[in-house]
Structure 1
Amino acid sequence: MRQDIYELIAEDEDLKKFLRLQPIWYRRLMRNPQEFEKLQTEAVFFYKKSIPHRVSKFADGVQMASMMMHMFQAMRTPSG
């Protein structure tokens, strides 16, 4: 593997873990070092750190908070 690619991987814990879980990438990077950006993209999606994943996680949090607010309001309201 090229030294510059190896150093970039060594700096990023997620990439190191991803390579250990997906060893096919070692071979792909040895043959085509220009696929490093594709490796980064695959790792981001694997660890669910992409923008769509973050937006979904944020939306789920907002929905949960809204549900809790409605529940607290229902508990506070005197019943009949």
Structure 2
Amino acid sequence: MYAGLTNETIDALQDSLGKTLPEDYVNFLKYTNGTNIFSDSISIWGMRTSNARRGDEAIQPYDLVSLNEERIGEIPDSLIIS
């Protein structure tokens, strides 16, 4: 689990997505900025602020924005992939 997001960073995430996140997801992100459990069998993506591969900056959730930019198939744009 990762440290939760502030209202300001959640607003920035929604701006980057171009969509409003559901209230339950926003509340989850305030508690934890994504999670990876059971050896990544279950991943809930969050806001990644750095692509560093070393040090503390490397320990971040998978990026919700990049996931939603790389849509595969016929997933409607109105949905948020997580």
Q: Same fold (TM over 0.5)?
A: no
Larger relative contact order, structure 1 or 2 (CA cutoff 8 Å, min sep 6): 2
Structure having the higher helix fraction is 1
Structure having the higher strand fraction is 2
The two structures have a TM-score, normalised by structure 1, of: 0.34
